Amino acid sequence: MAQENTTTPSAKKLLDRVREKIRYKHYSLSTEKTYISWIKHYIIFNDKRHPVDMGAVEVERFLTYLANERHVSSSTQNQALSAILFLYRDVLTLELPWLDGFDRSKKPKRLPVVLTPLEVQALLRESSSAPEPVGLIVRLLYGTGMRLMEAVRLRVKDVEFTRQEIIVRDGKGGKDRITMLPDSLLEAMHRQLAIRREWHDEDIRSGKVGAWLPDALAVKYPNAPREWGWQYIFAARKYSIDPRSQVERRHHVDEKQVQRYVKKAALAAGIVKPTSPHTLRHSFATHILQAGYDIRTAQELLGHSDVSTTMIYTHVLNKGGKGVISPLDNL
Protein backbone atom coordinates (compact mmCIF):
# COMPACT_ATOMS: atom_id res chain seq x y z
CA MET A 1 0.00 0.00 0.00
CA ALA A 2 1.36 3.39 -0.97
CA GLN A 3 2.29 5.59 1.97
CA GLU A 4 2.19 9.38 2.25
CA ASN A 5 4.12 11.83 4.36
CA THR A 6 1.12 13.58 5.81
CA THR A 7 -1.20 12.80 8.67
CA THR A 8 -4.60 14.13 9.60
CA PRO A 9 -4.99 16.95 12.19
CA SER A 10 -6.43 14.45 14.68
CA ALA A 11 -3.42 12.19 14.14
CA LYS A 12 -1.07 15.11 14.77
CA LYS A 13 -2.79 15.83 18.09
CA LEU A 14 -2.55 12.16 18.94
CA LEU A 15 1.18 12.16 18.19
CA ASP A 16 1.60 15.12 20.55
CA ARG A 17 -0.02 13.02 23.27
CA VAL A 18 2.36 10.18 22.43
CA ARG A 19 5.35 12.52 22.81
CA GLU A 20 4.06 13.83 26.13
CA LYS A 21 3.62 10.32 27.51
CA ILE A 22 7.07 9.22 26.29
CA ARG A 23 8.71 12.23 27.95
CA TYR A 24 6.69 11.67 31.12
CA LYS A 25 8.15 8.16 31.28
CA HIS A 26 11.66 9.54 30.59
CA TYR A 27 12.20 7.43 27.49
CA SER A 28 15.17 8.37 25.33
CA LEU A 29 14.93 10.66 22.33
CA SER A 30 15.76 7.76 20.00
CA THR A 31 12.85 5.76 21.47
CA GLU A 32 10.58 8.76 20.99
CA LYS A 33 11.54 9.10 17.33
CA THR A 34 11.16 5.35 16.73
CA TYR A 35 7.73 5.09 18.37
CA ILE A 36 6.40 8.19 16.62
CA SER A 37 7.60 6.87 13.26
CA TRP A 38 5.95 3.45 13.69
CA ILE A 39 2.68 4.92 14.94
CA LYS A 40 2.55 7.25 11.93
CA HIS A 41 3.21 4.29 9.62
CA TYR A 42 0.45 2.31 11.31
CA ILE A 43 -2.09 5.14 10.93
CA ILE A 44 -1.17 5.91 7.32
CA PHE A 45 -1.20 2.23 6.35
CA ASN A 46 -4.77 1.99 7.62
CA ASP A 47 -6.00 4.93 5.53
CA LYS A 48 -5.45 7.46 8.33
CA ARG A 49 -8.14 6.02 10.53
CA HIS A 50 -7.95 6.88 14.22
CA PRO A 51 -6.46 4.00 16.27
CA VAL A 52 -9.55 4.00 18.50
CA ASP A 53 -11.54 2.83 15.49
CA MET A 54 -9.12 0.01 14.76
CA GLY A 55 -8.25 -3.23 16.47
CA ALA A 56 -6.64 -6.64 16.22
CA VAL A 57 -7.38 -7.06 12.51
CA GLU A 58 -5.64 -3.82 11.55
CA VAL A 59 -2.64 -4.46 13.80
CA GLU A 60 -2.15 -7.97 12.46
CA ARG A 61 -2.51 -6.79 8.87
CA PHE A 62 0.10 -4.08 9.45
CA LEU A 63 2.58 -6.50 11.02
CA THR A 64 1.99 -9.00 8.22
CA TYR A 65 2.66 -6.26 5.66
CA LEU A 66 5.97 -5.46 7.39
CA ALA A 67 7.04 -9.09 7.34
CA ASN A 68 5.82 -10.17 3.89
CA GLU A 69 6.17 -7.04 1.77
CA ARG A 70 8.84 -4.98 3.48
CA HIS A 71 10.75 -8.06 4.64
CA VAL A 72 11.73 -6.52 7.97
CA SER A 73 13.54 -8.60 10.58
CA SER A 74 11.77 -10.10 13.57
CA SER A 75 13.36 -7.50 15.87
CA THR A 76 12.08 -4.66 13.67
CA GLN A 77 8.61 -6.18 13.61
CA ASN A 78 8.67 -6.46 17.40
CA GLN A 79 9.77 -2.85 17.61
CA ALA A 80 6.72 -1.79 15.58
CA LEU A 81 4.46 -3.90 17.81
CA SER A 82 5.96 -2.30 20.95
CA ALA A 83 5.15 1.16 19.58
CA ILE A 84 1.55 0.15 18.80
CA LEU A 85 1.09 -1.45 22.22
CA PHE A 86 2.44 1.71 23.85
CA LEU A 87 -0.08 3.75 21.86
CA TYR A 88 -3.07 1.71 22.98
CA ARG A 89 -2.06 0.95 26.55
CA ASP A 90 -0.20 4.04 27.69
CA VAL A 91 -1.59 6.85 25.54
CA LEU A 92 -5.17 5.82 24.76
CA THR A 93 -5.38 3.82 28.04
CA LEU A 94 -7.52 1.18 26.38
CA GLU A 95 -7.84 -2.20 28.04
CA LEU A 96 -8.27 -4.38 24.99
CA PRO A 97 -8.09 -8.17 25.42
CA TRP A 98 -6.73 -8.65 21.92
CA LEU A 99 -3.52 -6.83 22.87
CA ASP A 100 -2.46 -9.79 24.98
CA GLY A 101 -3.08 -12.23 22.14
CA PHE A 102 -0.20 -11.02 20.00
CA ASP A 103 2.86 -13.23 20.03
CA ARG A 104 6.09 -11.46 19.30
CA SER A 105 8.15 -12.73 16.41
CA LYS A 106 10.77 -15.20 17.50
CA LYS A 107 14.21 -13.75 17.08
CA PRO A 108 16.54 -16.40 15.60
CA LYS A 109 19.17 -17.58 18.03
CA ARG A 110 22.58 -16.60 16.76
CA LEU A 111 25.97 -16.88 18.36
CA PRO A 112 27.64 -13.51 18.94
CA VAL A 113 30.37 -12.42 16.55
CA VAL A 114 33.65 -12.52 18.44
CA LEU A 115 37.04 -11.24 17.31
CA THR A 116 40.25 -13.06 18.18
CA PRO A 117 42.82 -11.12 20.26
CA LEU A 118 44.91 -10.65 17.10
CA GLU A 119 41.89 -9.25 15.25
CA VAL A 120 41.19 -6.89 18.14
CA GLN A 121 44.80 -5.70 18.05
CA ALA A 122 44.54 -5.03 14.32
CA LEU A 123 41.22 -3.21 14.74
CA LEU A 124 42.53 -1.00 17.54
CA ARG A 125 45.67 -0.24 15.54
CA GLU A 126 43.60 0.92 12.56
CA SER A 127 41.15 2.88 14.73
CA SER A 128 44.00 4.82 16.33
CA SER A 129 43.99 7.09 13.27
CA ALA A 130 40.40 8.14 13.98
CA PRO A 131 39.92 11.65 15.34
CA GLU A 132 39.80 11.75 19.11
CA PRO A 133 37.90 10.95 21.15
CA VAL A 134 36.61 8.26 18.75
CA GLY A 135 39.78 6.18 18.97
CA LEU A 136 39.67 6.30 22.77
CA ILE A 137 36.00 5.29 22.82
CA VAL A 138 36.76 2.27 20.63
CA ARG A 139 39.51 1.14 23.02
CA LEU A 140 37.21 1.75 25.96
CA LEU A 141 34.48 -0.44 24.46
CA TYR A 142 36.81 -3.43 24.30
CA GLY A 143 38.59 -2.62 27.56
CA THR A 144 35.43 -2.34 29.66
CA GLY A 145 32.67 -4.26 27.86
CA MET A 146 30.42 -1.22 27.83
CA ARG A 147 27.67 -0.74 25.27
CA LEU A 148 28.24 2.08 22.79
CA MET A 149 25.62 4.43 24.26
CA GLU A 150 26.90 3.77 27.78
CA ALA A 151 30.36 4.89 26.68
CA VAL A 152 29.41 8.07 24.82
CA ARG A 153 27.15 9.12 27.73
CA LEU A 154 29.86 8.79 30.37
CA ARG A 155 30.03 11.79 32.69
CA VAL A 156 33.07 13.14 34.52
CA LYS A 157 31.81 12.07 37.96
CA ASP A 158 31.43 8.44 36.83
CA VAL A 159 35.15 7.76 36.38
CA GLU A 160 37.07 6.91 39.55
CA PHE A 161 40.81 7.01 38.87
CA THR A 162 41.93 6.02 42.37
CA ARG A 163 39.91 2.81 42.34
CA GLN A 164 40.33 2.43 38.57
CA GLU A 165 36.66 1.83 37.97
CA ILE A 166 33.83 3.26 35.91
CA ILE A 167 30.26 3.52 37.15
CA VAL A 168 27.89 2.81 34.29
CA ARG A 169 24.72 4.76 35.07
CA ASP A 170 21.25 3.82 33.88
CA GLY A 171 22.39 0.94 31.69
CA LYS A 172 20.05 -1.42 29.89
CA GLY A 173 17.04 -2.05 32.09
CA GLY A 174 17.74 1.15 34.05
CA LYS A 175 20.44 -0.52 36.18
CA ASP A 176 23.77 0.89 37.42
CA ARG A 177 26.90 -1.26 37.51
CA ILE A 178 30.67 -1.01 37.93
CA THR A 179 33.30 -2.01 35.41
CA MET A 180 37.05 -1.58 35.32
CA LEU A 181 39.12 1.32 34.02
CA PRO A 182 42.07 -0.34 32.21
CA ASP A 183 45.61 0.65 33.18
CA SER A 184 46.47 1.20 29.53
CA LEU A 185 43.79 3.90 29.19
CA LEU A 186 44.58 5.98 32.29
CA GLU A 187 46.85 8.45 30.49
CA ALA A 188 44.49 8.82 27.53
CA MET A 189 41.52 9.41 29.84
CA HIS A 190 43.45 12.08 31.74
CA ARG A 191 44.29 13.81 28.44
CA GLN A 192 40.65 13.66 27.34
CA LEU A 193 39.48 15.17 30.63
CA ALA A 194 42.05 17.98 30.33
CA ILE A 195 40.71 18.87 26.88
CA ARG A 196 37.16 18.55 28.12
CA ARG A 197 37.91 20.90 31.03
CA GLU A 198 39.12 23.57 28.60
CA TRP A 199 35.90 23.24 26.62
CA HIS A 200 33.87 23.45 29.83
CA ASP A 201 35.59 26.69 30.84
CA GLU A 202 34.92 28.04 27.35
CA ASP A 203 31.26 27.03 27.62
CA ILE A 204 30.93 28.91 30.92
CA ARG A 205 32.44 32.05 29.39
CA SER A 206 30.12 31.85 26.39
CA GLY A 207 27.06 31.13 28.52
CA LYS A 208 26.38 27.86 26.71
CA VAL A 209 27.20 25.44 29.49
CA GLY A 210 24.42 23.12 30.51
CA ALA A 211 24.71 19.35 30.28
CA TRP A 212 21.48 17.51 29.55
CA LEU A 213 19.91 15.84 32.57
CA PRO A 214 16.73 13.76 32.84
CA ASP A 215 13.80 15.95 33.91
CA ALA A 216 13.62 14.62 37.47
CA LEU A 217 17.34 15.23 38.10
CA ALA A 218 17.22 18.65 36.47
CA VAL A 219 14.49 19.66 38.93
CA LYS A 220 16.19 18.09 41.94
CA TYR A 221 19.61 19.55 41.11
CA PRO A 222 18.99 22.83 39.22
CA ASN A 223 22.69 23.80 39.27
CA ALA A 224 23.97 20.39 38.16
CA PRO A 225 23.92 21.10 34.38
CA ARG A 226 26.66 23.73 34.91
CA GLU A 227 28.79 21.65 37.27
CA TRP A 228 31.95 19.97 36.01
CA GLY A 229 31.06 16.52 37.34
CA TRP A 230 27.87 16.29 35.27
CA GLN A 231 29.53 17.09 31.92
CA TYR A 232 29.89 14.46 29.21
CA ILE A 233 33.48 13.23 28.97
CA PHE A 234 33.15 12.62 25.25
CA ALA A 235 31.46 15.84 24.22
CA ALA A 236 30.89 16.99 20.66
CA ARG A 237 33.15 19.73 19.34
CA LYS A 238 30.23 21.86 18.19
CA TYR A 239 27.12 23.05 19.97
CA SER A 240 23.71 21.75 18.94
CA ILE A 241 20.09 22.56 19.63
CA ASP A 242 18.32 20.18 21.99
CA PRO A 243 15.26 19.03 19.98
CA ARG A 244 13.12 18.85 23.11
CA SER A 245 14.07 21.96 25.10
CA GLN A 246 15.47 24.00 22.17
CA VAL A 247 18.44 24.87 24.40
CA GLU A 248 21.80 25.27 22.66
CA ARG A 249 24.37 23.11 24.40
CA ARG A 250 27.29 20.75 23.85
CA HIS A 251 25.92 17.22 23.50
CA HIS A 252 27.91 13.99 23.57
CA VAL A 253 29.75 12.60 20.54
CA ASP A 254 27.45 11.19 17.88
CA GLU A 255 27.44 7.41 18.29
CA LYS A 256 27.15 7.01 14.51
CA GLN A 257 30.63 8.47 14.16
CA VAL A 258 32.02 5.66 16.30
CA GLN A 259 30.06 3.06 14.32
CA ARG A 260 31.49 4.35 11.03
CA TYR A 261 35.09 4.28 12.24
CA VAL A 262 34.77 0.77 13.67
CA LYS A 263 33.51 -0.52 10.31
CA LYS A 264 36.23 1.41 8.50
CA ALA A 265 38.95 0.07 10.82
CA ALA A 266 37.69 -3.52 10.47
CA LEU A 267 37.82 -3.22 6.69
CA ALA A 268 41.34 -1.77 6.78
CA ALA A 269 42.44 -4.54 9.16
CA GLY A 270 41.18 -7.22 6.77
CA ILE A 271 38.60 -8.54 9.22
CA VAL A 272 35.92 -10.39 7.26
CA LYS A 273 33.54 -10.94 10.18
CA PRO A 274 30.64 -8.45 10.46
CA THR A 275 32.06 -5.97 12.96
CA SER A 276 30.35 -3.22 14.92
CA PRO A 277 31.01 -1.49 18.27
CA HIS A 278 28.90 -4.19 19.95
CA THR A 279 31.29 -6.83 18.58
CA LEU A 280 33.89 -5.38 20.95
CA ARG A 281 31.55 -6.03 23.88
CA HIS A 282 31.11 -9.64 22.74
CA SER A 283 34.87 -9.97 22.41
CA PHE A 284 35.45 -8.51 25.88
CA ALA A 285 33.06 -11.05 27.43
CA THR A 286 34.60 -13.96 25.56
CA HIS A 287 38.19 -13.02 26.32
CA ILE A 288 37.69 -12.56 30.09
CA LEU A 289 36.09 -16.01 30.24
CA GLN A 290 38.99 -17.45 28.28
CA ALA A 291 41.31 -15.75 30.79
CA GLY A 292 39.72 -17.82 33.56
CA TYR A 293 37.30 -15.38 35.19
CA ASP A 294 34.06 -16.96 36.35
CA ILE A 295 30.68 -16.52 34.69
CA ARG A 296 29.22 -14.49 37.59
CA THR A 297 32.02 -11.93 37.34
CA ALA A 298 31.38 -11.61 33.61
CA GLN A 299 27.66 -11.22 34.28
CA GLU A 300 28.25 -8.36 36.72
CA LEU A 301 30.70 -6.55 34.44
CA LEU A 302 28.32 -6.84 31.48
CA GLY A 303 25.24 -5.87 33.49
CA HIS A 304 23.17 -8.91 32.51
CA SER A 305 20.13 -9.40 34.76
CA ASP A 306 20.10 -13.14 34.05
CA VAL A 307 23.20 -15.32 33.93
CA SER A 308 21.65 -17.30 31.06
CA THR A 309 22.35 -14.26 28.85
CA THR A 310 26.02 -14.44 29.77
CA MET A 311 26.14 -18.19 29.22
CA ILE A 312 26.02 -17.70 25.45
CA TYR A 313 29.70 -16.72 25.61
CA THR A 314 30.76 -20.04 27.10
CA HIS A 315 30.71 -21.64 23.64
CA VAL A 316 34.18 -20.20 23.08
CA LEU A 317 35.61 -22.19 25.97
CA ASN A 318 35.23 -25.35 23.92
CA LYS A 319 37.76 -26.08 21.24
CA GLY A 320 36.04 -26.77 17.96
CA GLY A 321 32.38 -27.71 17.76
CA LYS A 322 31.18 -28.08 21.39
CA GLY A 323 34.58 -29.47 22.39
CA VAL A 324 34.10 -32.63 20.33
CA ILE A 325 37.14 -34.01 18.51
CA SER A 326 36.37 -34.76 14.88
CA PRO A 327 36.72 -38.45 13.96
CA LEU A 328 38.78 -37.29 11.01
CA ASP A 329 41.53 -36.25 13.44
CA ASN A 330 41.69 -39.76 14.88
CA LEU A 331 42.53 -41.45 11.59
- Dist CA 11 CA 22 (whole Å): 16
Among 51-65, 156-170, 233-247, top mean pLDDT goes to: 156-170
Q: How far apart are CA 23 and CA 215, in angstroms?
A: 9
Beta-bridge partner residues of 241: 248
Statement: residue 136 has pLDDT above 80: yes
The pLDDT of residue 23 is 85
pLDDT band at 145 (very low <50, low <70, confident <90, very high): very high
Q: Compute φ and ψ for 192, nearest 5 degrees.
A: -60, -40
Q: Which of 35, 142, 261, 313 is catalytic?
A: 313
Which of 223, 259, 57 minimizes the C-alpha distance to 147? 259
Catalytic annotation present for 71:
no
Q: Is 172 a known active-site residue?
A: yes
Of 252, 281, 282, 287, which residue is the catalytic one?
281
pLDDT, tens digit (0-9, with 9 covering 90-100), for 196-233: 999 999 999 888 878 888 766 777 888 888 899 999 99
The single residue of 41, 153, 177, 304 carrying the catalytic annotation is 304
What whole-number distance in Å separates Cα of residue 305 and Cα of residue 299? 8
Domains of the chain, CATH where assigned: 9-101 (1.10.150.130), 117-314 (1.10.443.10)
What is the reported pLDDT for 319?
Answer: 60
Whether the model pTM is above 0.85: no
Active site includes 313? Answer: yes
From the list 49, 157, 172, 264, the catalytic residue is: 172
Residue 278: active-site member: yes
Interval 170-181: pLDDT, tens: 767 678 899 999
How much is the average pLDDT of 264-280?
96
Q: How confident is the model at residue 322 (pLDDT cuts 50, 70, 90)?
A: low
